[in-house]
């Protein structure tokens, strides 16, 4: 189990946000933390600790400069997502991203757009593509959400979809949007599905607040599910020491 750190960017600043409050139609955004540090500060920190595979997520517009600054600080060390499509994906790889992370360009109008998915694979290569299967739980099942977690698709996260989509990418990234940013514990049912069925490397994010949560993810994910921790970390205003998470995950490898 690896620690995959994050740099979430909103309005050009590094923030930690309760994912379910992101909306184009409401101003009731719940922000857990807004950093005084620039995006490249976090890139340099992750580079120092050799935490490859972390992700930069652009939440909305006016975030390109901050994302590119973070990539420049650690070429080849970080992935980037948020508004990625066939027109701009190559630009981010050339700017230093190891992978591009894609959601809305592939999951359009409630279904998987295989034309767009194949187009991306042809442009960047499977080895540089991460599919974001961020999801919300509805009656015990998990459905992929797009457009900053506002729109729910008809695509379920299960054995069949993980096998299918894993064939098009190098990794999967899953934010449990229902618990994201709430620091009330991870969705362990989702973690178990990922540990049981993901055919490729997979990173889980959402709700983690302490080392006990990491131990549970390690066990239920069969030490195969990598983790992202955001709002709970002391570097983002929380109480969980960043160093403890780094040390715990390195001891799991």
Which pLDDT value is given to residue 26? 40
* Predicted confidence (pLDDT) per residue in 174-214, tens digit: 999 888 777 789 999 999 999 999 999 999 999 999 999 99
Which pLDDT value is given to residue 182? 74
- Where in the sequence is the domain holding 74, given as residue range(s)? 6-252
Residue in the block written with tokens 């990539």: 71
Which pLDDT value is given to residue 78? 98
Residue 43 lies in a domain: yes
Residue 103 lies in a domain: yes
Specify the pTM.
Answer: 0.92
Residue 1 lies in a domain: no
* Predicted confidence (pLDDT) per residue in 40-59, tens digit: 999 999 999 999 999 999 98
Residue 153 lies in a domain: yes
Which pLDDT value is given to residue 151? 87
Burial 12-34 (b: 16+ CB within 10 A, else e): bbbbbbbbbebeeeeeeeeebbe
Cα atoms in the 13 Å half-sphere on the side-chain side of 92: 33
Residue 134 has phi, psi (to 5 degrees) of: -55, 140
Residue 21 DSSP label: G
Q: What parts of the chain have a pLDDT lower than 50?
A: 20, 23-27
* CATH number of the domain that residue 214 is part of: 3.20.20.70
Query: How many separate domains does the chain show?
Result: 1
DSSP lists the bridge partners of residue 142 as: 137
């Amino acid at each position: 189990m690896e620690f995959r750190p994050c740099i979430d960017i909103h309005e050009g600043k590094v923030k930690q946000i309760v994912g379910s409050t992101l909306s184009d139609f409401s101003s009731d955004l719940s922000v857990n933390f807004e950093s005084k540090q620039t995006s490249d500060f976090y890139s340099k920190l992750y580079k120092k600790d050799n935490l490859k595979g972390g992700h930069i997520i652009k939440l909305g517009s006016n975030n390109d400069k901050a994302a590119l600054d973070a990539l420049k600080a650690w070429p080849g060390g970080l992935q980037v997502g948020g508004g990625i499509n066939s027109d701009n994906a190559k630009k981010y790889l050339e700017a230093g991203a190891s992978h591009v992370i894609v959601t809305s360009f592939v999951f359009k109008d409630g279904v998987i757009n295989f034309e767009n998915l194949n187009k991306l694979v042809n442009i960047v290569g499977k080895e540089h593509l991460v599919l974001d299967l961020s999801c919300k739980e509805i009656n015990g099942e998990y459905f992929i959400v797009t457009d900053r977690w506002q729109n729910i698709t008809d695509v379920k996260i299960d054995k069949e979809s993980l096998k299918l989509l894993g064939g098009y990418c190098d990794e999967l990234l899953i934010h449990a949007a229902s618990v994201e940013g709430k620091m009330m514990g991870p969705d362990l049912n989702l973690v178990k599905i990922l540990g049981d069925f993901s055919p490729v490397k997979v990173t889980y994010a959402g709700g983690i607040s302490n080392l006990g949560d990491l131990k549970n993810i390690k066990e239920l994910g069969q030490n195969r599910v990598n983790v992202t921790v955001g709002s709970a970390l002391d570097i983002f205003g929380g109480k969980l020491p960043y160093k403890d998470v780094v040390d715990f995950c390195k001891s799991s490898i």
